[in-house]
Amino acid sequence: MLPKSKVSYLIKMIRIKFLLFFTLICAAANAQTGNIKGQILTGAGQGTESINIILKGTGKGTVTAADGSFEFSGLKEGNYQLIGTGVGFKRIDKNVSVKANETSTLELTVTEDAQELQTVEITGRKETSYKNDLSFIASKTATPIKEVPQAISYITKEVMRDQGTFLMGDAVKNMSGVNQFTFYDDLTIRGFRMNGGSTTQLVNGLRTFSGFWKQPPVNYLERVEVIKGAASALYGNTSPGGTINRVTKKPLTTPQKSLTFTTGSFNTLRTLADFTGPMNESKTLLYRLNLGYVNAQGFRNLQFDKNIVVAPSVSFLPTDKTRINFDLVYNRSNSRLDRGQSVKGNDLYSSSIKTSLNAVNDYLNEETYLITTSLNHQFTQNTSFNVAYLRTGYSEDLLEHRSSNVNGIDSAGKAIDNLVARQVFVRKTKSFMDNVSLFLNHNFNTGIAEHKLVVGYDYIQSVTPKGSGQQTASGYLLKAGGAGAYNAKTPEKYVFYDYTENGVTRSIPKPNISHYDLSVQNNNMEDPSKYIYNVVANASTTPVFYKLHGLYLQEQLKINRLQILLGLRYDSYIDKKGYTTSNETDITQHALLPRIGAVYTLTNNINVYGTYTKGYNPQDATVQSDPLSGGPFDPIRSSLYEAGFKTEWLDGRLTANASVYQIEQNNTLYSANAAENPNLMQQIGGEIAKGVEFDVTGNILPNWNLIVAYSYNDAKITDAGSRAADQVLVNRQKPNAPKNQGSIWTKYTFVNEALSGFGIGLGGNFVTERNVSINNTQTLPGYELLNAAIYYKIDKFQFQVNLNNLANKTYWVGGYDYLRLFPGAPRNFMATISYTF
C-alpha cells in the first residue's frame, strides 16, 4: 500500500495533466473557429431593427439590434449562407466565408418589398429617406410608383423635417406643377385650382375637406402625395390637375420616441412629440401618438396662430391575415383670418407686405377632427377585403374686418386709391363629411398573364346642417337710416364726412365700416355692435346636403414587360336643393368615368408609360345653392392625356421621372369680380393645360440626399362662352398658374471623423410671372428664393437651424386682385433641437 502522501501526489499530477489536455483541446477547437459581424442598413444608411438573421443549416439565428447590428461567434471554418428576413422587406441572401481566427465583416442593405406589405397602409413605413417606393393612392394596391401609369409626386416626413416644415404650403413647394393660390389651403396643380374647402382632398385615400382658411399642419404625416391628373376612376369627382393625399404616420413594430422644440423668427414657438412602438410582447397591438403645439405671430400685422394637434393611431394585428387600424387627428386653431395685403392702384410696392386690414379684436377659432377606422382581411394569399370609414368634422367661429374688394369712393363714385372699402363678417358654421369605402383585391394568373383585380364601392355624404349663421355689415350710411350701396346719382340720400388727403379736405360718403387708409394704417379696436348689418343670403352658412354613390372596377394586367391598367367608375351624385326647407328636392347627376394606362419596362432601370382618364365634378353645392351666384351651373368635365418615363438609378436609391400631358376642362367657374355682387360667378366654356414635368428624388450617396423638380405649364382659356364681352379672355393664362416653376433641395452629412455629425442643407425655388385674375391685366412678378440649413447630431440629440429667403426677396405667392394679395415671408430663421430615444 502506497503512503498517503504518494497517493495525493499522483492525484495532483493526474489533475494537472487532465487540465493541460483539456486546455490544448479547447485551444485546438478555438483555432478552428471564426466570427461573422455585420450591420443591416436602409438605402439611406439608417440601421434596421428586428431583421431575423439565420445561418442556413446550422440552427443559429439572431435579430438585429436598434442600429441594425448582429453577430455570430464560434463558427467553424467554412462557407455559410446568411438569410435575412423582415416584414415589409425583401429577403437577404448572402454567401459568407469564415476563416479560422478571423472575423468576416458585412454591411448589407435592405429594400421595401411591395409584395410583403399590407394591401392598405396599416403599419408604418420603414424607410427613413427622401425616397418612397410605393403608392396606395394610385391603384388601391401596394404598387411600386414606377409601375403606376400616371405621374405621382410626394414629399416624405424626412424632407419636411430637414426643411423645418410645419404647414402644407411649405411642403408642396418641392413638387413639380404645384403652386400656392393664396395663404390658405388653396393650391393650383397643373394650373387647375383645388382647395381644402372642396371635396378633392384625401386622407389615407379617403375623402375629406378642411376649413380652407388655414393650411393643415404636417407634423402627424408620413408623407404628402399628389397623383397628377384626374383620379376620378378611383375616387369620383376630383380636380383634373391632381389630387392631394395626406398619409398619416402609422404605428411601428419597434419602439421609437422623439421630442422636438423649435423657436425663431416671428415669435415662433413649436413643440412636437412622436411616440410609437408595440403595446404587448407579441407585437399584435401597436400605437403611435403625435402631439403638436404651435404659438406664432407671423410676419403680417396683427396675425397670429395658436395650434394644438393631437393625433393618436392604434393598429391591431390579431393574426397575420387580419389588421385593424384606428386614427384620430384633432386640431384646434385660434388665430385671425388674413385676407391679404392691399396696395394703391396698380403699384405692388405702395404698401408694406405686412399690411393687414384686420381690427385688433378680430378672431378665427376653428376645430377640426378626422376619425378613421379601417379593416384589412386576407382570405387567401391572393384575396383580401378592405373597409374603411372616415368622419370629418369642422366648426368655425369668426369675426373679421376685411376688404370689400373695392376702393373707397368720393361723391362722384370715383375710387380713392388710399382708401380700401371694408366689410365685416360675423359667422358661426359647422360642417361634416362621412366616407365609407370598401373594396376587394384579387390576384390570379391566366397563362403567362398576371392579374390584379379591384372591385369597390364608395359612399360619401357631406352636410352643413341648419344652425349656421352669418351677419354682414358693409355699404354706406343712409340719412334715413340703414346702409346700402352708394349711388352717385342720388348723393343727397347719404351721410358724408370730411376726408383729408395730401393736405386737401373733401366731403365723401361715410361708410358703414370705416375705410382702411393705406397712408395711416388704421388697425384699431372696433365695436361691431355699432354697425348696421344687412340680411343677405350667404353660401357658406346655407344648409347643404349632398351624397355620392360610386361603383368601380379596375384590372392591372401584366404580361412579361407590359402592364396594362383598365378602370371604370360609375357615380350617382345627389344634391338636395333647398335642403331643410319645404321646397327640398333631389337633383341627381350621373357620370361614367373610364381610365386606361400602360407601363412597359424597357430595362431594369427604365419604365415608359401612357394614360388616358376622364374627370367629372358637380359644381360646389354651396355655390349652386347661393341665389346670388348666378347659377345653377353645368358640371365640370375634363380629360387627361399623359405619357412619360420613370427610372431608378444608383442601386435604386435615386429616381428620375418625366411626363408630358394635356388636360382639357369645360365649365369652370370664376368670380365675375362684380363690385355690386362679390358672389356672382361666370362659367368659362373651355380650358386647356399642356406641360412637361421633371422630378428627381433620393440619395446620391447614403449621406447625400437630393430633390429636384421642374415644370412647364401652359394653362389657357380656350373658350370664354357665348358672351361677346368675355371673348377677350380667350388665350389668357389661367390665374395663379405660372408657366415655369421649379425647386431644388440637397442635404449632405459629413462622414469624415473631423466633421462627424455635421450636415448642411441648401436649396431654392422659383416661380415665373402669374396672372392674378382673369378679368383684368393685374399680374404678380416671378421670384427666386434661396434657403439653407445647418445640422449637428451628437448621440441622440440633433441641433438644426433653417435659414429661409436668405436674399430677403419681396414676393407674392398668389392673390385674387391688387386689393387681396398674399405675400411670402421675408428673411427668417428657425432653430430646432430634437431628442430621439
Residue 4 has pLDDT above 60, yes or no: no
Q: What are the tens digits of pLDDT across the range 482-506?
A: 999 999 999 999 999 999 988 899 9
- Domains, the chain, with CATH or none: 13-109 (2.60.40.10), 120-247 (2.170.130.10), 248-348+356-367+379-471+535-836 (2.40.170.20)
DSSP 314-339: EEEEEETTEEEEEEEEEEEEEE----
Distance between CA atoms of residues 211 and 201, nearest Å: 12
Residue 375 has pLDDT above 90, yes or no: yes
Residue 235 has pLDDT above 90, yes or no: no
The whole-number pLDDT of residue 127 equals 64
Distance between CA atoms of residues 72 and 55, nearest Å: 9
Q: What is the dihedral of CA 368, 307, 524, 815, to 10 degrees?
A: -70
The whole-number pLDDT of residue 232 equals 77
Residue 199 has pLDDT above 60, yes or no: no
Greatest mean pLDDT range, 118-132, 300-314, 584-598:
300-314
What percentage of the chain reaches a pLDDT higher than 90? 65
- Strands (E) across 186-240 are located at 186-189, 192-195, 201-203, 206-208, 221-228
The whole-number pLDDT of residue 673 equals 62
The whole-number pLDDT of residue 52 equals 80
The whole-number pLDDT of residue 730 equals 87
Question: Average of pLDDT values for 416-429?
Answer: 95
Helix, strand or coil, per DSSP, at residue 8: helix
Instruction: Average the pLDDT over each of 22-26, 252-256, 460-464 and give the range with the smallest value.
Output: 22-26
Residue 725 has pLDDT above 90, yes or no: no
Distance between CA atoms of residues 644 and 610, nearest Å: 7
What percentage of the chain reaches a pLDDT higher than 70? 90
> At 87, is the pLDDT very low, low, confident or very high (cuts 50, 70, 90)?
low
Q: How many CB atoms lie within 10 A of CB 3?
A: 8
Backbone angles phi, psi at 184, to 5 degrees: -80, -170
Question: Average of pLDDT values for 351-378?
Answer: 96
Question: Average of pLDDT values for 448-468?
Answer: 94
Residue 315 has pLDDT above 70, yes or no: yes
The whole-number pLDDT of residue 617 equals 80
Helix, strand or coil, per DSSP, at residue 529: helix
Residue 324 has pLDDT above 70, yes or no: yes
Instruction: Average the pLDDT over each of 45-59, 320-334, 343-357 and give the range with the smallest value.
Output: 45-59
Q: Report the mean per-residue pLDDT for the chain.
A: 89
Q: Which of the two residues, 727 and 378, has the higher pLDDT score?
A: 378
Instruction: Average the pLDDT over each of 6-20, 217-231, 540-554, 649-663 and give the range with the smallest value.
Output: 6-20
The whole-number pLDDT of residue 627 equals 64
Instruction: Average the pLDDT over each of 137-146, 163-172, 794-803 and give the range with the smallest value.
Output: 137-146
The whole-number pLDDT of residue 536 equals 60
Helix, strand or coil, per DSSP, at residue 20: helix
Greatest mean pLDDT range, 137-141, 198-202, 562-566:
562-566
Instruction: Average the pLDDT over each of 221-235, 287-301, 622-636, 761-775 and give the range with the smallest value.
Output: 622-636
User: Do 103 and 37 form a contact (C-beta atoms < 8 A)?
Assistant: yes
Residue whose C-alpha is closest to residue 392's, from 365, 418, 371, 413? 371
Q: Which of the two residues, 5 and 218, has the higher pLDDT score?
A: 218
Distance between CA atoms of residues 580 and 465, nearest Å: 8
Distance between CA atoms of residues 716 and 732, nearest Å: 5
Backbone angles phi, psi at 763, to 5 degrees: -170, 180
Residue type, 83: I
Distance in Å from the first CA to the final CA of the chain: 73
Q: What are the tens digits of pLDDT across the range 567-583?
A: 999 999 998 888 898 88
The whole-number pLDDT of residue 712 equals 98
Question: Average of pLDDT values for 551-555?
Answer: 96
Distance between CA atoms of residues 62 and 40, nearest Å: 13
Question: Average of pLDDT values for 509-521?
Answer: 94
The whole-number pLDDT of residue 28 equals 46
Residue 6 has pLDDT above 70, yes or no: no
Q: Which of the two residues, 629 and 771, has the higher pLDDT score?
A: 771
Greatest mean pLDDT range, 16-30, 714-728, 741-755:
741-755
